[in-house]
Structure 1
C-alpha cells in the first residue's frame, strides 16, 4: 500500500470537518442580514447533522461493500455541490437546504474515510488510525472557523469566498483519491456489508449465506458493550460542542455587544483548538482520558453560566477552552476503546454508529435550546443547557467509575 495514502484520507477527513464549521462565524452575519431568530440559526446548524445522520443510517456501511475510494470520491463531489449552494444562498431556505446536502455528503464520506484510516494502520504503529479519527474533528473544525473568521473580518460583506475555496478543495481531493488505490486489503464486494455470517454449529464451520446482503449497520458485541458504557460521556461532550457551534457566537455578542460580528467564531475556535492538544496528550490512557473529560464537562458548563453573571467574555472563553479539552479527551478515548476489538468487515459500520450517537447529541439539544431562546431568551436557554450538560457529565462519570476496566482484544460476533 503506498505510504502517501494515509495522509490523503486524513486530509480529506480534516477538509470535511473544516467545511462543517466554516458557517459558524457567519451565523451572526446571516442573523443580522436576514433578521433571523436564535431558533432559525439553530435549525440552520442542526439540519447539517440531521442530514449526516440520515446518510450514516442509510449508507454508513456501504464502503464495506463497494470500497472506501469510490464511496468517498462520490461524496466529495456532492460536497462540492453543497458548497456552491451555500455560496449562492440568499436567504434561510436555500441555506438550510444546502446544509442538509452538506450533511448527507459528509455522513457518507466520514464513514468511508474514517474506516480507510483504520484499514491503512501500519502494524508497527498501532492506534494511528484511531488517533487520526480523533484529531480530525477538532483540527478540521478549527481550520474552518479560522479561515471563515479571517475572511469575514477582512471582508464582512463577503460570505461567498470561503465556500468557493472549499468547493475547489473537494474537487481536488476527489481527484487526489482517484489517482490512488483502494485502501481495503480485500476487494470491494468480496464480503457482505456489516452483515453477520451464518454459523453452522454442527460442523464448526462458517457458511456464507448466498441471499442478498442486508444493508444495515451492525456493531460487534464487544464494541457494542463499550459503546453503551461510553455513550453518556460522548453525548455530554458533543452536546456541549453543539451549543458552542450554534449559539456560542450569539452568546458572546449578547455578553459583549460592542465586539465585531466576526468575533463570534472565536468561542467555537477556542473549543476546537484546545481539543487537539488534549487528544495528543492523552493518547496513552484512553479510559483515564474519558474519565477526566467527563469530569471537565460540568466545570465548563458552570463557567459558561458564570459569563452571564459578571464573568463576561473571559469566563465564556474559559468554559470554551475547558469544553474543548473535554471534547478532545472523550472523543479520542472513546474512538480508541470502541474500535480496538473491531475487525475490518465492521469498521465502517462502527465508525458510522459512533458518528450517529455523536451528531444526535450535537443537533437535537441545539434545536431545543434554540426554541427555548426564542421564547424565553438566550440567557435562560443557556442556563437550561448548562443544567443538562452538568447532569450528563456527572452521569457519565458514575457509569465509567462502575464499569469494568478490561478491554477485549478479540472481535465479538
Structure 2
C-alpha cells in the first residue's frame, strides 16, 4: 500500500514541474501567455485519453502492468520535456506525461485501497488522494527551488524527477497483484462506467470538485504571471510555493473533513471553496499578496474537503468490477475542470488584461461553488449517502 502511494507521489509531480519554469520558457521560446495556458492544459488531454480508452484495463489485465505502463510514460514524457527545444517539444512532452497521470489517477487509487490491511481500510482513500495532491504540489516547489538556486533551470528538475521515477519502478515491482489477469480477456476500449447505484454520490461529487479543480488549473498555468505582473514577484520559489500551498491545504482539507459531520461535509466544502475564490479575486483587485495567500489556503482547504469526500463515497458504493472505470469517470470531470477554464482564462488576457481576467475568473469560480451548493440537495442525498457510508464503516 505505501509503496504504491510513494509511486503515486513520485509520478504526479511530472504534471506540475513546469509551472515555475513558464516565465523562463516564455523568454526562451518567445511564447505568449495564451500559449503558456495551452501548454499547461494540454496534459489533461493525455489524462482523459487514457481514462476513456484504458480506464478499465486494470480490471482486466491487472493493476501492476498498468502501473508499470504509467511509469514508463512518465519517464518518456520527462525526457522529452528535459530536451525540448521549442513549443512542440513542450506540447508533446506534456501530453505523454498526461498519459502517465491518467493511468495513475484511476489505477493507483484503486490499488492502494485494495492493498490496505483491514485496520487501514477506512484511511486508504485519504492516503491515495493525499499522495496525489502532495505529489502535484511538490513538483512546482522542487522546480522553483532548483530554478532559483541551481544551474540548468530547464533541465535539472526533470533529471531529479527521472531518478525518483526509477525508485517508483522498484516500488511497483515489489507489490503483489490485487486483480490477476482473467484468462482469455481481450483488451478493448472501455468507456468510464457510472452504474445507477453510484449516481447519487457521483453527480454531486463531480459538480463540487469541478469548482475546486478549475482554480487549481488557473494557478498551475498563470500563478507566475500573476505574481510577477500584479504583485511584483519574480522569484521562482514563490511561483512554485503558491502552488504547493494550494495542494498542501487541499491535503489538510482531506484530513480535516473526517472531523466534520458527514451531513455537512459537502455543503461546508462548497462554502469554503466559494469564500476562497472570492478572496483570491479581491486580492488581485487590491494587489494584496497577504490576501492572495489567505485565499489560496481557504480555497485549497475547501477543495480537499469535497475531493476526499467524493473519493471516499465512490469507493464505498461502487461495485469492485467497475471500480476503476468509475474512478476514471470521476477524474475525467476533474481534468476537464483543469484544462477548459484555464484556456478560456488565457484567451481573455488579451482583451481584458491579466488582472481583470483573474478577477472575473475568481468570481465565476465562486459562483460555480455556490451553484454546486444549491444543487447538492436536489441531487438525491449526497450527504445522506456519505453518512450511511460512514455508519457502515464504523
Common fold: TM-score over 0.5:
yes
- Output the TM-score relative to the length of structure 2: 0.91
Which structure: larger Rg?
1
> CA 1:377–1:341 in 2, change beyond 3 Å: closer, same or farther?
same
In the alignment, structure 1 residue 247 sits paired with structure 2 residue 240: no
Equivalences for 1:293-308 in 2 at 5 Å?
293-308=269-284
Match of 1:84 in 2: 79
The CA deviation at 1:43 is 0.5
In the alignment, structure 1 residue 371 sits paired with structure 2 residue 359: no
Residue segments in structure 1 that go unaligned for 5+ positions in a row: 1-5, 194-211
Secondary structure in structure 2 of the residue aligned to 1:124? helix
In the alignment, structure 1 residue 70 sits paired with structure 2 residue 103: no
Deviation string 1:191-215 (CA, Å, 9 cap, x unpaired) is 979xxxxxxxxxxxxxxxxxx9763
Q: In terms of mean alpha carbon deviation, does 319-328 or 398-407 score higher?
A: 398-407
CA contact (8 A) 2:230 2:287 kept: no
Secondary structure in structure 2 of the residue aligned to 1:340? helix
Q: Distance in 2 between matches of 1:48 and 1:181?
A: 30
The CA deviation at 1:309 is 2.5
RMSD: 2.2
1:348 to 320, 324, 328: 324
The CA deviation at 1:294 is 0.8
Q: Distance in 2 between matches of 1:374 and 1:79?
A: 34
CA contact (8 A) 1:120 1:183 kept: yes
Q: Distance in 2 between matches of 1:312 and 1:406?
A: 40
1:176 to 157, 171, 176: 171
In the alignment, structure 1 residue 406 sits paired with structure 2 residue 378: no
1:127 to 122, 125, 140: 122
- Output the TM-score relative to the length of structure 1: 0.87
Equivalences for 1:235-384 in 2 at 5 Å?
235-284=210-259, 285-384=261-360
Match of 1:10 in 2: 5
Match of 2:139 in 1: 144
2:181 to 188, 206, 230: 188
Deviation string 1:33-65 (CA, Å, 9 cap, x unpaired) is 223211111001001111101111001110000
Q: Distance in 1 between matches of 2:278 and 2:368?
A: 13
CA contact (8 A) 2:84 2:90 kept: yes
Q: In terms of mean alpha carbon deviation, does 84-93 or 32-41 score higher?
A: 32-41
The CA deviation at 1:357 is 0.6
Q: Distance in 2 between matches of 1:183 and 1:358?
A: 26
> CA 1:246–1:214 in 2, change beyond 3 Å: closer, same or farther?
closer
1:162 to 149, 157, 160: 157
Q: In terms of mean alpha carbon deviation, does 152-161 or 6-15 score higher?
A: 152-161
Match of 1:197 in 2: none
Q: In terms of mean alpha carbon deviation, does 131-140 or 360-369 score higher?
A: 131-140
Secondary structure in structure 1 of the residue aligned to 2:119? coil
> CA 1:229–1:158 in 2, change beyond 3 Å: closer, same or farther?
closer
Match of 2:392 in 1: none
CA contact (8 A) 1:271 1:324 kept: yes
Q: In terms of mean alpha carbon deviation, does 287-296 or 361-370 score higher?
A: 287-296
Q: Distance in 1 between matches of 2:97 and 2:230?
A: 31
Q: Distance in 2 between matches of 1:287 and 1:150?
A: 41
The CA deviation at 1:67 is 0.2
> CA 1:149–1:191 in 2, change beyond 3 Å: closer, same or farther?
farther
